[in-house]
Amino acid sequence: MSRIGKKPVELPQGVTATLSGQTVEVRGPKGTRSFTATDDVTITVVGDQVKVDPRGSSKRARAQWGMSRSMVSNLVQGVTEGFKKELEINGVGYRAQAQGQNLKLSLGYSHEVNFAVPDGITVSTPKQTEIIVEGIDQQLVGQVAANIREWRGPEPYKGKGIKYKDEYIFRKEGKR
């Protein structure tokens, strides 16, 4: 039995869920998101709750049960609060600047990196060494943050580079 799958997803006030076949569409104050579940689960919308049940007792059906419930829960969280990833830049001369739908990064290369931000994502730079990636799609927010971090990942000797705000960088001692 899936502990996660058994819990129904509560819909907060101002959020509506519609079901057509295996596709759940959730509308909220921040936008609209949808998810298409596999045929291994049954999704029902009752009042202000979305319930997910497995169609059989196979291993795949039980795995899809918890995953589908988590996906619906993420849709609800995305359209109400949204998702956010915070990045920090460490290093002399390393900085970031948001310009509309572009992010200009100075990361010690001979040129500046212009990162095009996809639609549905907002990138802000409260300080020159902080980047905040926000949006309603959890997967897209994480992917954009990972793509930005990829330009100059943190190195283990001085810690220079782009890292997540809560990330711990294992430091090495270096030569003697």
Rounded Cα gap, residues 71 and 104, in angstroms:
33
The strands making up 130-135's β-sheet, listed across from edge to edge, are: 121-124, 130-135, 83-90, 161-164
What pLDDT, in 10s, does the model give residues 140-162?
A: 999 999 999 999 999 999 989 99
User: Could you tell me which of 24, 44, 46, 26 has the C-alpha nearest to residue 35?
Assistant: 24
Please indicate whether the domains covering 3-80 and 83-164 agree at the CATH topology level.
yes
- On whether the CB atoms of residues 51 and 43 are closer than 8 A, the answer is yes
Compute how many other C-beta atoms are within 10 angstroms of the C-beta atom of residue 139. 12
Tell the CATH superfamily of the 83-164 domain: Ribosomal protein L6 (3.90.930.12)
pTM: 0.87
Average pLDDT over residues 127-149: 95
Residues 6+ away with beta carbon under 8 Å from 166: 86
Residue 90: pLDDT above 80?
yes
Q: What is the mean pLDDT of the chain?
A: 92
What pLDDT, in 10s, does the model give residues 16-74?
A: 999 999 999 999 999 999 999 999 999 999 989 999 999 988 999 988 999 999 999 99
Residue 2: pLDDT above 80?
no
Compute how many other C-beta atoms are within 10 angstroms of the C-beta atom of residue 105. 22
Q: Thinking of the domain 3-80, which architecture would CATH place it in?
A: Alpha-Beta Complex (3.90)
